[in-house]
Structure 1
Amino acid sequence: MPNSPSVARSTATSLVSLICVLALLHFGREVLEPIVLASILSLIIAPLIRSLRRFGLGRITATFSAVLFVAAVLVGIGVILTAQLVSVTTEIPQYRAAIQSKLAMVRQITERPFAHIEAEMKAVSSNNFPAAEPTTPEEKVLPAGQSQPIPVVIRTPQPSTTETITRLLSSISGPVGEAFLVFVLLIFILLDHESLRDRAIRLTGQSEVGRTIKALGDATEGVSRFFFSQFLVNTAFAIIISIALWAVGVPHAFLFGTLSGLLRFIPYLGALIAGGLITLFVAAIDPGWTLAIVCMSFFAATEVLVANWVEPKVYGHSSGLSPLAVMVSALFWGALWGPVGLLLSTPLTLCLVVAGRHVSALEPITILFADTPNVDEAHRFFHRLLAADTDAIVSDAQVFMRKFSFAKYCDHILIPGLSLGAHDFENGLLEKTQQNKIRATIATLAETVSQTSDDSDKKRKRRSVSMLDANVGAHLRQMRKKRLGRWQGSLNVPSRSVVLCAGFDSERDDLLSELFVLALREVNIDARSFSFGDHQENPGEDGANIVSTVFITYPLVSTLAEWIPIVQELRSNLPHALIVTIRLFSEENLAEQSVVNKHVDMVLRSFEEGLAFVAPDRAPLH
């Protein structure tokens, strides 16, 4: 292949770039961590600054007020948490007996089966193998005149007060110094926000100004709004847990409630850790297990309620990431940056996903990690059609038609989805078995809709189609004739009350005709279909009087010459009926509309327009 060397070079370049980025993230951790922390905090505080500016405060005043307020709250919470943590550590010896007894109980319950198995295995092995020689000094018999060796014990000298204070200050100075650095970076990022935006636009060039501003807008508004909402939800969660623990008499309820709120920023794993800590502590302070079980149940119920009801109401269906992406990002950033990376995994990945919607180099991240892939409903329908996932297609169609009409489903999902595979289907690029599965899936979907819309068949269950002719539309027409008779209904109906759908004796025309019949029958219109090649389907002059409208499938370029005389013949046979055609823009190789207009009364653009044309008072207004 001529393009193979260029493709190989491009792949090698991308691989080298990826390795360089990973190396930069790993070895530049000490520099990048405070910058990323400050950037994420700036996104969280940004909504608060915007709110203060609405009250008339200047940019600098609002920025310093917001930062100082957040810093004061964090310092106050930190002092209270530290005091309670120290109190917990001093009280632990009081609970030592309860902890030891419960650990012994748990150990006995968990080790009893394994001890039994081990005893049985030892009994079996002792019968097959001789006893082992003693290996401990007490078991071995020393030779005459040789004394037992004296054990040597190495004792570490106790550290002095100066060494203890120095070690404590060194352990504190690291986190405090990093926190101060993040605080300073946060102030400069917030104050220099507009300048940073201008620099980013300048780097991307004037040709990408619109895309850059859109990406920055999504990051500073959408992402920051999500982070701020998440902060509010976790704060409320911490308050609820604190009040609940205090109400049942658990000491240090504020400490464990705050830890629960903080740990919820770690996806999935954080809630499990918080619930485990609370359960263990309550089990240690309570002689029985009732209080621990109650606290664990309340925590689990609150977590489920917040995750599945409160969070979707506050900031949308999800964080914008798929559950698998959240776990993968937690593993990736946790391996690179440790606990800090685990805490920042969701914000960092979400920022990359948002950026991937505007930056082509990051688009693979958006495709892989976004909550919903960048695939519309028509593409999703086609993918499931190829996979023969009939149940999912039918289920999605039923959900769609609870709100909208079958005509809209055809216009937006079914027909555009079928058009995606029309080229492969016509050129034989799909295997015969796959083609048969596609036909069977379409027939099953159509029969499900027909059974739902026909009053006489409402109690029938959907059945799968195992054997099917090559023409799906002809199959559906035959099924309707079996249910309703040769003329697909009675001929003793009011004048001009029947709508006919007609087309060539081809798979495309028959399928479009049958789908539109189903769309019409859904709103109780007496719709029937026939094929141009079937000359036996002629009910006579009385049958012609009951027809009000004839919908003819729009001709292709290859069938236009044959289509015109057939339309003229319909004109003569049904002089009082309107002849209408529907030009679906999802199809290709259609004839010129200027030519088609000369032979029909109306050219419509969708099934929904056809529905409104026939019965505007009964067509669903969606």
Structure 2
Amino acid sequence: MNFQPPSLRLGANTVVSATCIIALLHFGREVLEPLALALILSLVLAPLVRSVTRIGLARMPAVLLSVALVSTFLTGVGAVLATQLVTITRDLPQYRSAIRTKVAKVREVVERPISRIEAELSAVAPSGTVEPVRPRRGGVNLAVTAANTATSAPVPVEVRTPRTMKDTLGRIVGLVWGPIGEAGVVLILLVFILLEQGSLRDRLVRLAGQAEVSRTIRTLGDAAQGVSRFFFSQFIVNATFGAAIGLSLWLVGVPHAVLWGVLSGVLRFVPYLGVLLAGAIIAVFVAAIDPGWSLAVTCMAMFLAFEVVLANFIEPKVYGHSSGLSPLAVIVSALFWGALWGPVGLLLSTPLTLCLVVAGRHVRALAPITILLGDAPNMSDAERFHQRVLAGEADELTKDAQAYVRRFSFARYCDHVLLPGLRMAVSDLGAGTIDKLQQDRMRAVIANIAETVASASESGSRTRRKAVPLLDANIGAHLRQMREARFGRWQGSLDVPSGSIVLCAGLPSERDEFLTELLVRALREAEVDARSIVAGAPQERPEPAHPGLVSTVFITYPRQDNIEEWLLAVAELRADLPEALMVTVLLPYDEQLPKRALVEEHVDMILRSFEEGLAFVAPDRAAQANGAPARMRAA
């Protein structure tokens, strides 16, 4: 999005506008329902029409052929359903006794515990409870007397004219004409929308204004692509589900298996509720045809197994993010559109809401809908890190960091997540919005991430490390002390090949030591022998007997307030390591920096990120971490 999302404050104008829109949707249902159906179907059929036009047909024949193919398919499915339903209606009387027996058994099983609980409660009830008055044997039963009096009254006689064939046909036509007429209206609208698709897009662009041409076209394209992809994926998945259910029921000997398979596939288009309804219908029917319960339990177990596998393993791979809606948004949209438009609203709830969510990515007024109902908030990884680090969610941040590093590298994680997120926290700290407890949480979480995530590949251990306690000193010094405790003063052996060590140096400040330690761990994760020192400290100057071991020195970029100290440290490093390259990293979100020309005079190279530093000293490892093919790395 090219704009910041608006706040979700509800004013009087917003409430009135929303109320008017909902009232318009409710009272304009008869007009808006077929129009919405036709628009959604036009988005679904648009790829088919384009495919047909590619073979050489003109626009009108392509539209008519596509609509005819889809109408034929839907008519065939409807004919199968109608035939099977007629057969079930004819066979229903023979299942009536079995249904009554099963209902009686279920009622007995359900009522028996309730009756027992009621008896136990009555036994411990207080003795002063007033018992209901019951008529004695010799008494007069007022209810029976009233009933006898009522039966002695004259019964009115109603004369009915016998129903003719004409009346019966009229009732049937009246019953069927409504859905057929609505389907005809939708079909006509669909044809004209497909024929005038280009013209309608031009009109919408013209309506939005010339200044919004790019955004309007992008919104229409995203909505069409999202709805088409979602419906195609959903059709494939639901058709597979219906075929699997029908075949399984046929194999176990359930009559009308084709009907139940088609019904399961069709009802699954209704979010969540459709699957429950299909399962309930199949369970009731199987319980009616089987004297026992084994067949019903078997069928329900198969149904649940197919649904669990489909919902948890197949759908996430097939759909991906094609729906663009969160699971809660699907339920809420189904309730909203179902309450407004009934069954048609349930069927259209997901695509209609999806269109609103897509439009909210480009239209400012609809941005709150995208934020509330989208599959993920419009938030970067750095912003998510900033919020979680303030909340002290160490475990969640560590898991996210480990997943990110497994996919890319720790250097990339520092560049795109950790350091930008910390820059936001530093801004909050400068504004005084972060208290002492949140500062301690931040230090502990950041140190835990750097120690746990970056050290996992360095040590080759996949075991879970202990959480880092709250830090009193700066994080960089803490991390360096932990590494020195494992590897010694020089953080490793000095008996290594010449030019194999990369030295990371920084001034004795919390900023420089932290950046230095992050860079060391990013390089060591890529199997680079990286070590760190505090520049300007005499006890930490490189070993004078081994100056040729260091090939590259990374020194933190200076700030305006310590430029003189930085220049002195660079001069000392030059004197101690005359053959090493001097490199610094200018991070794009750093502030209060000296002019670049002043720094360039004293270093050999200025890089822009930790990833560039990794690529500079270990190009093969950097290319592998970023997913580049081996052939490109070799080139």
TM over 0.5: yes
Aligned to 1:348: 352
Deviation at 1:469, TM superposition (A): 1.9
Tell me how far 1:438 sits from its aligned partner: 0.6
Q: 1:123 to 1:604 in 2, by over 3 A?
A: same
- 1:275 aligned to 2:272? no
1:333 Cα offset (Å): 0.9
Read off the aligned partner of 2:107 and give its amino acid letter: R
Offset at residue 147 of structure 1 (A) = 10
User: 2-side partners of 1:128 and 1:445: how far apart?
Assistant: 68
| 1:464 corresponds to 2:459 | no
For 1:105 and 1:408, the matched residues in 2 are separated by: 65
From 417, 422, 433, the equivalent of 1:418 is 422
**Separation in structure 1 between the aligned mates of residue 444 and residue 142 of structure 2, nearest angstrom:** 86
Are 2:378 and 1:374 aligned? yes
Say whether residues 1:582 and 2:582 are aligned partners: no
Deviations 1:81-126 (A, max 9, x none): 1222122122222111211222222222222211101122233348
Is 1:228 aligned with 2:232? yes
Q: Pick from 586, 601, 604: which aligns with 1:601?
A: 604
Query: 1:436, 1:468 within 8 Å by CA — same for their partners in 2?
Result: yes
TM-score, normalised relative to structure 2: 0.90
Residue in structure 1 matched with residue 176 of structure 2 by the alignment: 172
Per-residue deviation, 1:434: 0.3
Matched residue, 1:559: 562
CA contact (8 A) 1:234 1:262 kept: yes
CA distance in 2, matches of 1:156, 1:314: 63
Structure 1 residue 59, shift from structure 2 partner: 0.9
1:569 aligns with 572
* Contact 1:549-1:580 at 8 Å conserved across structures: yes
Q: CA deviation at 1:300?
A: 2.0
2:629 aligned partner: none
Match of 1:476 among 474, 479, 482: 479
Of 299, 324, 330, 2:328 maps to: 324
Q: What residue identity is the alignment partner of 1:505?
A: P
The residue aligned with 1:521 is: 524
1:542 aligns to what SS in structure 2? coil
> Paired residue for 2:619, among 607, 616, 621?
616
What is the aligned partner in structure 1 of residue 220 from structure 2? 216
Give the drift of 1:543.
Answer: 4.7
Give the Cα separation in 1 of the matches to 2:122 and 2:330: 47
1:436, 1:470 within 8 Å by CA — same for their partners in 2?
no
Q: What displacement does 1:529 show?
A: 1.4
Q: Report if the CA contact (8 A) 1:469-1:475 is conserved.
A: no
> What is the Cα deviation at residue 437 of structure 1?
0.3
Query: For 1:69-218, what aligned pairs fall within 5 Å after superposition?
Result: 69-125=69-125, 127-134=127-134, 140-141=140-141, 148-151=148-151, 160-162=162-164, 164-218=168-222
Q: In the alignment, residue 526 of structure 1 is paired with which amino acid?
A: D
Aligned to 1:54: 54
Q: Is the alpha carbon distance of 1:91 and 1:390 closer, same or farther for their aligned partners in structure 2, counting shifts above 3 Å?
A: same
Determine if the alignment matches structure 1 residue 28 to structure 2 residue 28: yes
Structure 1 residues 557 and 223, CA gap change in structure 2 (3 angstroms): farther
Once the two structures are superposed, residues 307-365 of structure 1 have per-residue CA deviations (whole angstroms, 9 ceiling, x without a partner) of 33443444434521110110111111111112211111111101111111221111111
CA distance in 2, matches of 1:217, 1:64: 23
d(CA) in 1 for partners of 2:584 and 2:138? 102
Q: What letter corresponds to residue 464 of structure 1 in structure 2?
A: A
Length, aligned pairs only: 614
Query: Is residue 453 of structure 1 aligned with residue 460 of structure 2?
Result: no
Is the Cα–Cα contact under 8 Å of residues 311 and 318 in structure 1 kept in the other structure?
no
Deviations 1:269-295 (A, max 9, x none): 111111121121111111122222222
Shift of 1:296: 1.6
Q: Is the 8 A contact 2:458 2:524 kept in 1?
A: yes
Distance verdict in 2 for CA 1:563–1:9, change over 3 Å: closer
Q: Would the aligned equivalents of 2:502 and 2:550 in 1 still touch at CA under 8 Å?
A: yes
Deviation at 1:18, TM superposition (A): 1.4
Tell me what 1:502 maps to: 505
Q: Cα distance, 1:492 vs. partner?
A: 3.8
Structure 1 residue 375, shift from structure 2 partner: 1.5
Between the aligned partners of 1:133 and 1:114, the Cα distance in structure 2 is 24
Shift of 1:552: 0.7
Deviation, structure 1 residue 432: 0.6
More displaced stretch, 569-578 vs 531-540: 531-540
Conserved 8 A contact 1:238-1:258: yes
Instruction: Name the counterpart of 1:259.
Output: 263
Native 8 Å contact 2:533 2:541 kept in 1: no
Determine if contact 1:134/1:140 at 8 Å carries over to the other structure: no
Structure 1 residue 534 displacement after superposition: 3.5
Secondary structure in 1 aligned to 2:149? coil
CA contact (8 A) 1:471 1:507 kept: yes
Paired residue secondary structure (1:402):
helix
Change in 2 beyond 3 A, CA 1:449/1:75: closer
Counterpart of 1:607, as a letter, is F
Partner of 2:515: 512
Larger mean CA deviation between 118-127 and 578-587 belongs to 118-127
Secondary structure of the residue that 2:441 maps to in structure 1? Answer: helix
Q: Deviations for 1:375-395, whole angstroms, at most 9, x for unmatched residues?
A: 122222222212211111111
Pairing 1:393-408 to 2, within 5 Å after superposition: 393-408=397-412
- The one-letter code sitting in structure 1 at the alignment partner of 2:345 is G
Contact 2:452 2:465 (C-alpha < 8 Å) held by counterparts: yes
1:297-316 equivalence runs, <5 A: 297-316=301-320
Aligned partners of 1:308 and 1:178: how far apart in 2?
37
Cα RMSD (Å): 2.7
Show the counterpart of 1:295.
299
Which has the larger displacement, 186-195 or 120-129? 120-129
Question: Would the aligned equivalents of 1:405 and 1:620 in 2 still touch at CA under 8 Å?
Answer: no
Deviates more, 1:300-309 or 1:16-25: 300-309
The 1:253–1:139 alpha-carbon spacing in structure 2 relative to 1, beyond 3 Å, is farther
Q: How far off is 1:489 after superposition? A: 2.3
Deviates more, 1:107-116 or 1:239-248: 239-248
Deviations 1:580-611 (A, max 9, x none): 10111133333322221111011111112212
State the distance in 1 between where 2:138 and 2:396 align. Answer: 72
Comparing 530-539 and 39-48, the one that deviates more? 530-539
Contact 2:329–2:373, Cα closer than 8 Å, also in 1? yes
Task: Provide closer, same or farther for how the CA distance between residues 136 and 52 of structure 1 changes in structure 2, counting only shifts above 3 A.
Answer: farther
Retained in 2: the 8 A contact 1:390–1:441?
yes
Report the 3-state secondary structure (helix = DSSP H, G, I; strand = E; otherwise coil) of the residue aligned with 1:552. strand
Contact 1:439 1:470 in 2 (8 A): no
* Counterpart Cα distance in 1 of 2:146 and 2:238: 70
Aligned equivalent of 1:390: 394
* Residue equivalent to 1:4: none
CA distance in 1, matches of 2:363, 2:159: 60
Query: Which of 538, 554, 575 does residue 541 from structure 2 map onto?
Result: 538
Shift of 1:132: 1.9
Give me the whole-angstrom Cα distance separating, in 1, the residues matched to 2:288 and 2:548. Answer: 88
What SS does the aligned partner of 2:539 have?
Answer: coil
Distance 2:537 2:108 in 1: 82
Q: CA deviation at 1:166?
A: 3.8
- Given that 1:547 and 1:577 are in contact with CA atoms closer than 8 Å, whether structure 2 keeps it comes out as yes
Contact persistence 1:408–1:608 (CA under 8 A): yes
Kindly indicate whether residue 353 of structure 2 is the aligned counterpart of residue 338 of structure 1. no
For residues 9 and 252 of structure 1, the distance between their equivalents in structure 2, rounded to whole angstroms, comes to: 55
Structure 2: gaps of 5 or more residues:
1-6, 627-635
Indicate how the Cα distance of structure 1 residues 157 and 348 shifts in structure 2: closer, same or farther if over 3 A, else same. Answer: farther
In 2, Cα distance between the equivalents of 1:84 and 1:8? 51
Structure 1 counterpart of 2:19, which letter? I
Distance 2:340 2:157 in 1: 38
The Cα shift of 1:562 comes to 3.1
Query: Normalization by structure 1: what TM-score?
Result: 0.92
